[in-house]
Amino acid sequence: MTNTPDDIAPTRLDPESARRRRTRSIAIAVALAGLVVLFYVVTIVRLGGNVASRTF
């Protein structure tokens, strides 16, 4: 027996599960944003401070 989209009925989450899912999603978003900032800072540090004052 295979599950096709027609066989799967949408289910409603109870308020506690919805709150947990939202909290988990926010935590993942904050962690991802932190990684982006970390990579940006590491890149700037590795390139050095003279990159901003370069003339083209």
Q: For residue range 1-56, what is the model confidence (pLDDT) as tens digits?
A: 566 666 676 788 899 999 999 999 999 999 999 999 999 999 888 888 666 676 66
- Predicted TM-score (pTM) above 0.85: no
Q: What pLDDT shows up at residue 2?
A: 62
Radius of gyration of the chain (CA): 22
Q: What pLDDT shows up at residue 35?
A: 98
3-state SS of the chain is CCCCCCCCCCCCCCHHHHHHHHHHHHHHHHHHHHHHHHHHHHHHHHHCHHHCCCCC
Q: Are 21 and 13 in contact (CB under 8 A)?
A: yes
Q: How far is it, in rounded angstroms, from Cα 22 to Cα 28?
A: 10
